[in-house]
């Protein structure tokens, strides 16, 4: 009996501690979204779990944007931006819990970072809570026509990138490909539009093989691909499976040319599979021209601040742009709130208006009462009615153990 009492006591102690902890935090911070000296902005994403490898650089990109805004004096007469990172463990359940914390306990004005499924899960919730969800890498075609009200993304839609990829292959005289696609939403959505466009333009998919994540071996899948003897294989899957497949293909002596998804366009891929295997692998990613001033500046600042080069496939510039654009929207709206962002973000990023490509410049123009058109590090950032942007694209290729831009395609390439 005594033991039970102790157990009960300890349990209730933990309970009260937690409740006290959360309510004190909640009460204290609830109003700070609009009244305090700092404005809370959430970074809501998987810091652990399968998104973990993406987000560690994204966290840095948020810091970079935050520091740039605060160093320029903040917005709304000296209010600074405070980024709160919330880990979702890369699950939808984690995103919902995390979003509730950001909205109700932290009084955050925006939640930057959810992936496709979490965006879809929060789609109805965001307009109610009046805290926009903004994704830098949710590319799914499912989001093409449902966002726009408290839901935005700077990631290019898979439908667009699929079209661009197909057109680039056809333009380069490649008419036949085999496809390896991961059995998950992101990969399937990525291949869907590619397949349609490629076949429309006269190309032929020789074989499409679906693989599951976490298999011990992919020899069976590779054998199926080899049976049609393709010149080029398109790999649509994650960075977690890529090394196993690429090494196995190398060992079996398949000398196919490879195109991969943007997810694989990171330095770790080359480091893991080795320079020899990675050499010549190509990908099309939504990325600004390397010579674009804003993109160059972002890369240089990132390198200076964190002593590392940001990876093209991790949507770092897209993350950075979301925070800068949100801050400019709040300044334009004259209020530190999610509604101000929702209302003004198109106004500060879309034409007409004076083109600006830094936060400082934008702030100055807004203060002078000018209309602005923010040109981001990830592209021109013009949101359409459904909260999507049209991106420009780069063909990347591994040369001497590094991802290099081989070709640049402006946003109007498809037209």
Partner 1 sequence: MEALVFISGLVALGGIYAMLAISLNVNGGMLGLWDLGVVGYFALGAYSYTLISTDAPYGLGLPMVIGVIASAVITGLLSLFIGFTALRLRSEYLLITTFAFAEIIRIVATNEDWLTNGNVGIFGLEKPFQEVIPGSIYMVFFAGLVLAALGGYYFFAQRLADSPMGRYMRAIRENEQVTQSIGKEIFKTKLKVFVLSSSMVGVVGCFYVWYMSIIAPNMFYSTVTFTVWTALVLGGIGNNKGAIIGAFVLIFVQEATRFIPVPTEYSTLLAGIRQLISGMLLILVLRFLPQGFIAEKFKSVERLFNLELKNSIVNEPDGGRRNVAG
Q: Shortest gap between Cβ of 3 and partner 1 (angstroms)?
A: 7
Shortest distance (Å) from residue 164 CB to partner 1: 22
Is 121 buried (19+), middle (13-18) or exposed (0-12) by CB count in 10 A?
middle
Q: Please list every residue from 187 through 206 that binds partner 1, using CB under 8 A.
A: 188-189
Q: Which is nearer to partner 1, 56 or 275 (CB)?
A: 56
**For partner 1, the closer CB: 29 or 396:** 29
Residue 392 contacts residue 286 (beta carbons within 8 Å): yes
CB 66 to partner 1: min, Å: 8
Q: What binding mask, one character per residue, do residues 112-151 give for partner 1 by CB under 8 A, x or -?
A: -----x--xx-xxx--xx----------x-x---------
- Count residues near partner 1 (CB under 8 A): 62
d(CA 160, CA 349): 20
Q: Fill in the DSSP letter of residue 311.
A: P
Q: Which of 38, 80, 100, 219 binds partner 1 (CB under 8 A)?
A: 100
DSSP 85-128: EEE-TTSHHHHHHHHHIIIIIS--S-EE---HHHHHHHTTHHHH
Dihedral sign of CA atoms 23, 28, 33, 39 in order: negative
- Is 87 a binding residue for partner 1 by CB under 8 A? The answer is yes
284 binds partner 1 (CB under 8 A): no
CB 265, min distance to partner 1, A: 21
Q: Is 176 helix (H, G, I), strand (E, B) or coil?
A: strand
Q: Does 318 bind partner 1 (CB under 8 A)?
A: no
Angle between helix 158-171 and 185-200 (nearest 10): 40
For helices 338-349 and 316-333, the axis angle rounded to 10 degrees is: 110
Of the ranges 58-66, 162-170, 220-228, 307-315, which one interacts with partner 1 (CB under 8 A)?
58-66
d(CA 186, CA 1): 54
Do the beta carbons of residue 89 and residue 49 sit within 8 Å? yes
236 near partner 1, judged by CB under 8 A? no
Site string for partner 1, 333-372 (x = CB under 8 A): ----------------------------------------
- For 387, the 3-state DSSP assignment is coil
17/309 with CB nearer partner 1? 17
Nearer to partner 1, 119 or 233 (CB): 119
Q: Which of 39, 65, 75, 105 binds partner 1 (CB under 8 A)?
A: 105
- Judge contact between 198 and 170, C-beta under 8 A: yes
Taking the CA atoms of residue 53, residue 56, residue 62 and residue 66 in that order, the dihedral angle to the nearest 10 degrees is 180
Alpha helices in 334-382, H assignment, sequence order: 338-349, 359-367
Q: Minimum Å distance from CB 248 to partner 1?
A: 23
Closest CA to 159 of 399, 358, 391: 391
Could you tell me if 151 and 110 are in contact, meaning their C-beta atoms sit under 8 angstroms apart?
no
Q: Would you say 161 and 393 are in contact if contact means Cβ atoms under 8 Å apart?
A: yes
| Closer residue to partner 1, CB minimum distance, 16 or 370 | 16
227 binds partner 1 (CB under 8 A): no
Binding residue (CB under 8 A) for partner 1 from 44, 75, 103, 277: 103
| 23-52 footprint of partner 1 as x/- string (CB under 8 A) | x-xxx--x------------x---xx---x
Smallest distance, partner 1 to C-beta of residue 132, A: 15
Cβ nearer to partner 1, comparing 49 with 274:
49
Pick one of 172, 183, 215, 229: the residue that binds partner 1 (CB under 8 A): 183
- Please name which of 375, 354, 340 lies closest in space to residue 75, comparing C-alpha atoms: 340
In angstroms, the Cα distances linking 413 to 160, 165, 167, 287 are 11, 11, 9, 13
Residues that bind partner 1 (CB under 8 A): 1, 3-4, 7-8, 10-11, 14-15, 17-19, 21-23, 25-27, 30, 43, 47-48, 52, 55-56, 59, 62-63, 66, 83-87, 89, 91-93, 96-98, 100-101, 103-105, 107, 117, 120-121, 123-125, 128-129, 140, 142, 183-185, 188-189
């Amino acid at each position: 009996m005594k033991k039970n009492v102790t157990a009960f006591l300890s349990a209730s102690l933990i309970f009260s501690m937690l409740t006290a902890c959360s309510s004190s935090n909640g009460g204290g911070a609830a109003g700070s979204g609009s009244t305090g000296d700092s404005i809370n902005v959430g970074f809501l994403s998987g810091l652990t779990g399968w998104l973990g490898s993406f987000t560690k650089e994204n966290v840095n990109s948020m810091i970079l944007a935050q520091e740039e805004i605060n160093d320029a004096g903040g917005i709304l007469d000296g209010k600074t931006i405070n980024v709160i990172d919330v880990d979702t463990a890369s699950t939808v359940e984690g995103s919902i819990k995390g979003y509730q914390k950001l909205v109700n306990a932290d009084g955050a004005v925006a939640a930057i970072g959810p992936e496709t499924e979490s965006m879809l899960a929060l789609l109805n919730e965001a307009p109610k809570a009046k805290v926009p969800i903004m994704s830098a890498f949710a590319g799914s075609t499912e989001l093409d026509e449902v966002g726009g009200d408290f839901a935005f993304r700077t990631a290019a839609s898979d439908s667009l990138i699929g079209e661009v990829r197909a057109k680039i292959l056809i333009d380069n005289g490649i008419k036949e490909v085999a496809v390896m696609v991961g059995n998950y939403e992101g990969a399937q959505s990525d291949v869907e539009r590619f397949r349609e466009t490629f076949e429309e333009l006269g190309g032929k998919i020789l074989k499409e093989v679906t693989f599951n994540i976490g298999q011990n071996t992919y020899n069976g899948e590779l054998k199926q691909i080899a049976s049609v003897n393709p010149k080029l294989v398109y790999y649509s899957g994650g960075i977690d499976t890529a090394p196993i497949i690429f090494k196995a293909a190398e060992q079996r002596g398949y000398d196919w040319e490879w195109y991969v998804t943007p997810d694989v366009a990171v330095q770790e891929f080359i480091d893991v599979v080795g320079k020899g295997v990675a050499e010549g692998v190509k990908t099309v990613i939504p990325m600004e021209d390397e010579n674009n001033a804003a993109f160059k500046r972002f890369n240089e600042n990132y390198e200076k601040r964190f002593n590392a080069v940001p990876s093209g496939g991790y949507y770092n510039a897209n993350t950075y742009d979301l925070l800068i654009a949100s801050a400019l929207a709040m300044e334009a709206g004259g209020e530190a709130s999610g509604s101000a962002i929702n209302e003004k973000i198109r106004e500060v990023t879309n034409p007409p208006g004076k083109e600006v490509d830094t936060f400082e410049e934008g702030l100055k123009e807004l203060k002078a009462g000018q209309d602005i058109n923010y040109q981001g590090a990830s592209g021109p950032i013009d949101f359409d009615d459904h909260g999507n942007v049209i991106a420009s694209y780069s063909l990347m290729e591994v040369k001497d153990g590094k991802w290099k831009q081989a070709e640049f395609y402006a946003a109007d390439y498809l037209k």
